Amino acid sequence: MSQKERSAFWDRIFDEPLAESFTTNESNSPQIIYYNHPFPPVDVHERENQLIVIMEIAGANREQIELLASENRLVVKGRTICPISQTTIIQKERREGPFHREILLPRNIDQAKCKATFRTGLLFITFDFSEES
| pLDDT given for residue 52 in this prediction | 93
Give the span between the Cα atoms of 85 and 37, in whole angstroms. Answer: 26
List, for residues 55-110, the tens digit of each pLDDT value.
999 888 888 899 998 888 999 999 988 888 888 888 888 888 899 999 998 888 88
User: H or E stretch including 4?
Assistant: helix 3-15
Does pTM top 0.75 for this prediction? no
Q: Where are the domains of the chain?
A: 1-37, 41-129
- pLDDT band (50, 70, 90) for residue 13: low
Domain 41-129 falls in which CATH fold?
Answer: Immunoglobulin-like (2.60.40)
- pLDDT band (50, 70, 90) for residue 20: very low
| pLDDT given for residue 6 in this prediction | 60
